[in-house]
Amino acid sequence: MKKNVSDIGWNFSNSYTSFSETMYTRISPVPVKDPSIVIFNKVLSKELGLDFTNLSTSSVAQLFCGNVLPEGSEPLAQAYAGHQFGHFTNLGDGRAIVIGEHISPKKNKFDIQFKGSGPTPYSRGADGRAVLGPMLREYIISEAMHALGIATTRSLAVVKTGEYVFRESPLPGAVLTRVAASHIRVGTFQYLASKGDVSNLRKLVEYSISRHYPHIEKEENLAIALLNEVIKKQIDLIISWMRVGFIHVVMNTDNMTISGETIDYGPCAFMDQYDNTTCFSSIDLQGRYSYGNQPIAAHWNLARFAETLLPLIHQDENEAIKIAEQIINSFKSKYEIAWLKMMRAKIGFFGKEGMDSMLIHKLLQWMHSSKADYTNTFCYLMGHRLGNIKSYQETTFIDWHKEWQDRIKRSKKSESEVLSMMQSVNPVIIPRNHLIEESLQDAEKGDLSRFKKMLKFLKYPYSYQEGLVSFQIPSDREYKTFCGT
């Protein structure tokens, strides 16, 4: 007997609708012509407690394009604001609709969102649609980030709509199903603060804590407690990005989640040759969101978050500013401590020595001057060789390598202990930009073989697998990313 969409395990509890409707608009996805499943995440669906095994393929497609909505869903588009490249503006879900908050068997709550599901009141004249390539891009990179152990939204499905979306040329339309701990952003708080809505702002603080940080619900000042928790989460997130060479590219405040998850994989990329100024963006000409500027951008965004909380931090504005500045100013030292700890793990240093920072920076300086691949250099230190790369035979690197080995010996740890630590934080495969683009070009023509093969390897980024080498080789081609897809 075939199941219907109400029998597969959906368990909706839509708490966001308790807010004033100034914060969202109830709206349903716009129906599409001829949906078909492109890719479906069976592992994630199982984690969510959903069972699609007895549902026809066409029914699954109808569900994940929004033509049919499951019982209990309450679709809405969220309003928010944001500083985009430093400039404040009111925004909102222009092409995304949260159909509801699903509670998994482990009692975790997730937003289920359709991206590319049609225009909303926040679309600002756009069509609200998405095209296949970028939706598959978000699918593969978000799943790769999850496998890397980095906090991220997830991808449950990509469905072709059977319609064309017009950009510079007609492109196949698609809808992505995004799964997130929530879609509450720094920009959500900015939206309320800009309206002077202290009542809903206080409620949003309480709601965010209840949903993401219940362990601080008894704190005397919830705004201060939330600010401290979000700072911790963002430091952890940026450190993770830096660890694997990930560059978000669009770190606007509307793309910083309160939960600490990576969100929005439009123009993101991974660094090949090590260079702190690596940016990739076609529009970020000043490198505001370059690899090395990501902690600076996070610090700036958190300051904007703190500004929204001032009325709740203290009734006296001057005192509130003083308290907020003290908390925000702690970011730099906390980040530097966390970064050094992460880099020690990447090169196998147990314990602490005063010269560790100098040794780490010497390695990074050599990588930059030699145009060495970031990921593969750490693979080399773990004993994995990718051909006869001349830069590792340079005197500067050989001298550093000796200093490194001497430092390893002083820790008095076994080779297996050192290697185990390094292997736990250094991926042997990342989503190489050129390979992602090639797989997406094939996918747009209907051939997902390369895409699925790459996805298979990316599921186990810290393990060597047969046939992996072709996915480890960097490209020397210039790479640019674009927004608005």
Q: What angle do CA 260, 311, 14 make, to 5 degrees?
A: 45
Start-to-end CA distance of the chain, whole Å, equals 40
Which pair of tokens denotes residue 374? 């970031």
The rounded Cα 252 to chain-centroid distance in angstroms is: 13
Handedness of CA 305, 308, 310, 313 (dihedral sign): negative
Residue 298 structure tokens = 């996070």
Residues 468/474/480/484 CA torsion (nearest 10 deg):
10
Scanning the structure block, which residue is given the tokens 């292997």?
423
Position 58, amino acid: S
**Exposure b/e, 209-245, CB count within 10 A at least 16 = b:** bebbbeeeeeeeebbbbbbebbbebbbebbbbbbbbb
Pairing, β 109-115 against β 130-131: unpaired
Give, as one character, the DSSP assignment of residue 28: P
Nearest in space to 339 (alpha carbons), one of 236, 425, 439: 236
Residue 7 annotated as catalytic: no
Using CA of residue 170, residue 173, residue 176, residue 182, what is the dihedral sign?
A: positive
User: What string of DSSP letters covers 60-108?
Assistant: HHHHHHTSS--TT---EEEEEEEEETTEEEEEE-SSEEEEEEEEPTTS-
Distance between CA atoms of residues 397 and 380, nearest Å: 12
Distance CA 365, CA 376 (A): 16
Pair of tokens at residue 82: 């944001």
- State the catalytic residue, choosing from 111, 254, 272, 373: 254
* Cβ 35 vs Cβ 61: under 8 Å: yes
275: alpha, beta or left? (left if phi > 0; alpha if psi -120 to 50): beta
Residues 50 and 10: beta-carbon distance below 8 Å: yes
**What's the CA gap between 248 and 255, in Å, rounded?**
10
**In whole angstroms, what is the distance from residue 163 CA to residue 171 CA?**
8
Catalytic machinery residues: 254
